[in-house]
């Protein structure tokens, strides 16, 4: 399939080139030129299909023959090598747990899939070595480090803001070593992001190294996020037409769900649940999109003031505000409300949410207040121990650590401290 740039439809690309480039040459996001509808027979059989088979059917139309089926299946197997349980809290609220992967956040699926695709394209041919350069506010770093660890032909350089990621997140991105380098930046996430952007435009670097990004706008991270909406649907009651509430930052995850729905997955409604970074909530109220500077919250992976993937959401609805409104709502909650929700669900259902999932829970509850007839599912996007300091303080007790985390905490942090863009440049040119 071809993909076109959302800035200018004339710029098109195949899958490989779009994955290697990340963004189109005009800086637009790539979007599939057709949204495939899956046949009724697929949904009739869904209950009996295994997760790899489902994923293959869902992604195949977009990749075509660019990756042979046996290779594609290997990539899928690696990126879905854990469980995606739907856990009921009560009659009409369930949690889709997306944190059973190696770095305990949903980004493991997209990062693993992208690493597999890029690894395949490098092995196949004429790309040469590639450097994945990425800035992280927390979860992306670990997922990318783990996904790309040991992949032949790829070096990964991760920039993260010193002292602004959780302890678990820091260990996950600084301990792998090998082809993964972690740069600890004296500054904020925005500073890291700005340095990465500058490097992509710096010819002194790009003539020496092939740079690519692994952030959530990449097709190879975005598209596989559809998989678990199908896996969730498979676990619900026959003929359920659920509402999905998705804690959203850059809007890649929810946008994948909306694409799954456009391919035929029965869904009644999507709720975008935001923290105080509520650009989209404002847009839904006023019809005018105004980006803002991000503000810091306890759900830090959603501290995004100008969500990149929202243009893809609009494109799925053919830029029709009325169509969007029928299927999509947005709500926002501050840290106090989020903490209160964590406490409430812990005492009422003995279920511990992380601060991101908690925002999703709140969005779902508010939507169901006016629409009690629906079956609701919110996405738990990370394991609560990734945000240990916050959740322990909220519930006022210690949270037992899973073995993998205890193990992780004993590993050594390896990072290089940097301050300026010149430091980054020096690092990239020296290596
Ligand atoms: C990245 C992340 C989000 C936000 O997902 P988007 O696709 O950017 O909307 C939400 N929760 C957690 C835990 C994350 O790591």
Q: How far apart are CA 311 and CA 135, in angstroms?
A: 21
Q: What is the pTM assigned to this prediction?
A: 0.96
CA of residue 71 to ligand 1 center, whole Å: 28
Cβ(274)–Cβ(330) below 8 Å: yes
Ligand 1 pocket, residue 111 CB under 6 Å = no
The CATH code belonging to domain 83-105+221-399 is 3.40.50.1100
Check residue 188 and give its pLDDT. 86
Whether 365 is a known active-site residue: answer no
Please give the number of the atom of ligand 1 that sits closest to the Cα of 252: 7
Instruction: Report the residue among 168, 248, 357, 388 best suited for mutation to probe ligand 1: largest number of ligand atoms under 8 A from its CB.
Output: 248
Catalytic residue among 51, 107, 164, 171: 107
* pLDDT < 50 positions in the chain: none
β-bridge pairing 3-5 and 30-32: antiparallel
Pocket test for ligand 1, best of 95, 302, 353 (most atoms within 8 A of CB): 302
Where residue 130 falls (left for φ over 0; alpha for ψ -120 to 50; beta otherwise) is beta
Element (H, E) at 192: helix 189-200
Euclidean distance between CA atoms 174 and 188, whole angstroms: 18
Segment 1-27, tens digit of pLDDT: 999 999 999 999 999 999 998 989 998
C-beta 216 within 6 A of ligand 1: yes
Q: What are the CA-CA distances from residue 365 to residues 94, 243, 341, 351, 369 (Å)?
A: 11, 11, 10, 16, 6
Predicted pLDDT at 431: 67
Find out whether the beta carbon of 248 lies less than 6 Å from any atom of ligand 1: yes
Asked if residue 382 has its Cβ within 6 Å of ligand 1, the reply is yes
CA distance 216 to 210: 19
Centre of ligand 1 to C-alpha 248, Å, is 6
- Res 215: pLDDT: 84
Query: To test ligand 1's pocket by mutation, which of 250, 310, 358 has the most ligand atoms within 8 angstroms of CB?
Result: 250
pLDDT at position 36: 94
Q: How far is CA 26 from the centre of its chain?
A: 23
**10 forms bridges with which residues in the sheet?**
none
CA of 357 to the centre of ligand 1 (A): 10
pLDDT of residue 190: 82
**Would you say the CB of residue 245 lies under 6 angstroms from ligand 1?**
no
Q: Does the beta carbon of 55 lie inside 6 Å of ligand 1?
A: no
* Domain coordinates in residue numbering, the chain: 83-105+221-399
Would the CB of 215 count as within 6 Å of ligand 1? no
Q: Which atom of ligand 1 is nearest to the CA of 304?
A: 8
């Amino acid at each position: 399939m071809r993909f076109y740039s959302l800035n200018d439809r004339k710029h098109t690309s195949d899958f490989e080139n779009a994955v290697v480039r990340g963004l189109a040459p005009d800086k637009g996001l790539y979007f599939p030129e057709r949204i495939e509808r899956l046949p009724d027979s697929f949904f009739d059989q869904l209950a009996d299909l295994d997760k790899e088979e489902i994923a293959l059917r869902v992604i195949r139309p977009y990749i075509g023959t660019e990756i042979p089926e046996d290779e594609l299946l290997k990539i899928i197997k690696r990126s879905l090598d854990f469980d995606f349980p739907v856990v009921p809290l009560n009659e009409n609220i369930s949690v889709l747990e997306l944190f059973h992967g190696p770095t305990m956040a949903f980004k493991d699926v997209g990062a693993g899939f992208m690493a597999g695709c890029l690894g395949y394209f490098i092995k196949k041919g004429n790309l040469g070595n590639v450097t994945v350069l990425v800035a992280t506010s927390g979860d992306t770093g670990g997922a990318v480090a783990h996904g790309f660890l040991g992949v032949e032909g790829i070096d990964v350089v991760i920039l993260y803001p010193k002292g602004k990621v959780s302890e678990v997140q820091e260990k996950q991105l600084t301990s792998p070593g090998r082809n993964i380098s972690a740069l600890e930046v004296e500054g904020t996430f925005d500073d890291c992001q700005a340095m990465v952007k500058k490097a992509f435009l710096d010819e002194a670097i790009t003539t020496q190294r092939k740079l690519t990004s692994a952030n959530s706008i990449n097709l190879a991270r975005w598209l596989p996020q559809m998989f678990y909406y199908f896996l969730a649907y498979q676990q619900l009651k026959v003929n359920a037409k659920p509402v999905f509430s998705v804690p959203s930052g850059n809007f890649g995850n929810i946008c994948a769900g909306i694409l799954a729905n456009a391919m035929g997955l029965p869904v009644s409604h999507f709720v975008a649940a935001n923290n105080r970074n509520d650009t989209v909530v404002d847009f839904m109220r006023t019809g005018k999109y105004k980006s803002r500077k991000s503000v810091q919250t306890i759900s830090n992976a959603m501290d995004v003031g100008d969500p990149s993937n929202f243009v893809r959401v609009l494109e799925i609805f053919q830029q029709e505000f009325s169509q969007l409104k029928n299927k999509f709502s947005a709500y926002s909650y501050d840290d106090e409300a989020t903490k209160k929700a964590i406490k409430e669900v812990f005492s009422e259902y003995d279920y511990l949410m992380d601060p991101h999932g908690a925002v999703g829970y709140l969005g779902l509850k508010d939507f169901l207040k006016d629409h009690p007839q629906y079956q609701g599912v919110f996405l738990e996007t990370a394991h609560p121990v990734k945000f240990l300091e916050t959740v322990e303080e909220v519930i006022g007790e210690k949270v037992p650590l899973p073995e993998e985390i205890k193990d992780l905490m004993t590993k050594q942090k390896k990072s290089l401290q940097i301050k300026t863009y010149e430091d980054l440049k020096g690092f990239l040119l020296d290596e």
